Amino acid sequence: MTSSDSTQALTLESAYAICCAIAKREAKNFYYSFVALPAPRRNAICAIYAFMRKADDLSDDESLPRDERRHNLDTWLAGWRTAASGQPTADPVFFAVRDAVQRFNIPLALLDELVAGTTMDLENAHSDAPDTYATFSDLYRYCYLVASVVGLVCIRIFGYTDPRAEKLAEETGIAFQLTNILRDVQEDAERNRVYLPIEDLTRHGVPLDSLLQRSPSTPLTTNERALLAEIAQRAENYYKSAQQLLPLIDRESRPALWVLVSIYHSLLRRIESANYDVFSHRASVPTAQKLGILGLGMARMGAARLGL
């Protein structure tokens, strides 16, 4: 099949179906919230997720050198910009995202920022030095690009009229990303990455090398536990913004956001209940608990549709 033929064969319905399949396969925590959305909004969210997933996959392909990954990401982004300009595309993700952008008035600059976040891990292309962030302000910028921007895109699909929603969505993204960072400390260290700010490590007397070289079976030190507890408290403070955001979102979309916030906050609480041992096992929310949260979200969606 030629590129022209595949472009003609690709329909918007099939493009969205492909994106939804990607989200169902890969999204894990996110997908449970997608189910609680009305179909047009769910399709758009799945398209954005598939776009984000592809950017992440290109950035994280450790079978390739960083400079080659950066080249592949730039090539892919150029293809997106061509599709976004209205040119024909055979890429189902580009096709669906372009429709979602138009349908929900999503600024293209937000998608550029989303991709920019994935490239931050590629900046040390020719260095064996670990990826680190000196201060929380530096880490906040990273979290903004990889998580808050997603929130700013999502609220445009969810619907809102109060401009306060934008800052609250930004801070909700920070809460989610700090939760991810806590969960993945061991995995990131094995990839020569430490997202916990160096200034925090220094203040708590935790050497960078101790995180990079520690064994998962090594018991936590008092200093490590205090460090992780401080990051968790920071995340808890940002979850307050998520609660303030909920009533500002369109009524029929609130259940989906509630499901997402509930699952992510539950993940943080599991880390806290494990006394911050994120090294010996990877924290997760059990599927049964996620399904329970989804069930409540679906009930809320039904009530919203009935105007209750």
Query: Residue 304: what pLDDT?
Result: 61
Place of tokens 């096992």: 281
| Terminal-residue alpha carbon distance, the chain | 51
Distance CA 202, CA 210 (A): 12
**140-154: pLDDT as tens digits:** 999 999 999 999 999
What's residue 7's pLDDT?
47
Measured between alpha carbons, how far is 160 from 69 in angstroms, rounded to an integer?
A: 37
The pLDDT-based confidence of 302 (bands split at 50, 70, 90) is low
Q: Name the token pair of 175.
A: 């809460």
- Boundaries of every domain in the chain: 1-106, 128-308
102 C-beta neighbours (distance < 10 Å), count = 11
pLDDT attached to residue 307 = 61
Is residue 4 within a helix (H) or strand (E), and if so which, with residue range? helix 3-9
The answer to whether 267 and 8 are in contact (CB under 8 A) is no
Q: What is the pLDDT of residues 38-79, one digit of tens each?
A: 899 999 999 999 999 999 899 888 888 888 988 999 999 999
Confidence of residue 34 (pLDDT cuts 50, 70, 90): confident
Please report, rounded to a whole number, the percentage of residues in the chain having pLDDT higher than 70: 93
Superfamily (CATH) of domain 128-308:
Farnesyl Diphosphate Synthase (1.10.600.10)
Note the pLDDT tens digit of each residue in 128-139.
Answer: 788 899 999 999
Per-residue model confidence as pLDDT tens digits over 162-213: 999 999 999 999 999 999 999 999 999 998 999 999 999 999 999 999 999 9
Q: What is the mean pLDDT of the chain?
A: 91
The size of the chain, in residues, is: 308
Nearest to 293 by CA among 32, 30, 13, 68: 32
Structure tokens at 166: 């934008």
pLDDT in tens, 222-239: 999 999 999 999 999 999
Same fold, 1-106 and 128-308: yes
C-alpha 268/C-alpha 183 separation (Å) is 8
Give the contacts of 232 (CB within 8 A, at least 6 positions apart). 178, 182, 268, 271, 272, 276
Q: Which residues pair with 160 in a beta bridge?
A: 249
Supply the pLDDT for residue 157. Answer: 97
Neighbours of 134 (CB within 10 A): 11
Q: What architecture (CATH level 2) is domain 1-106?
A: Orthogonal Bundle (1.10)
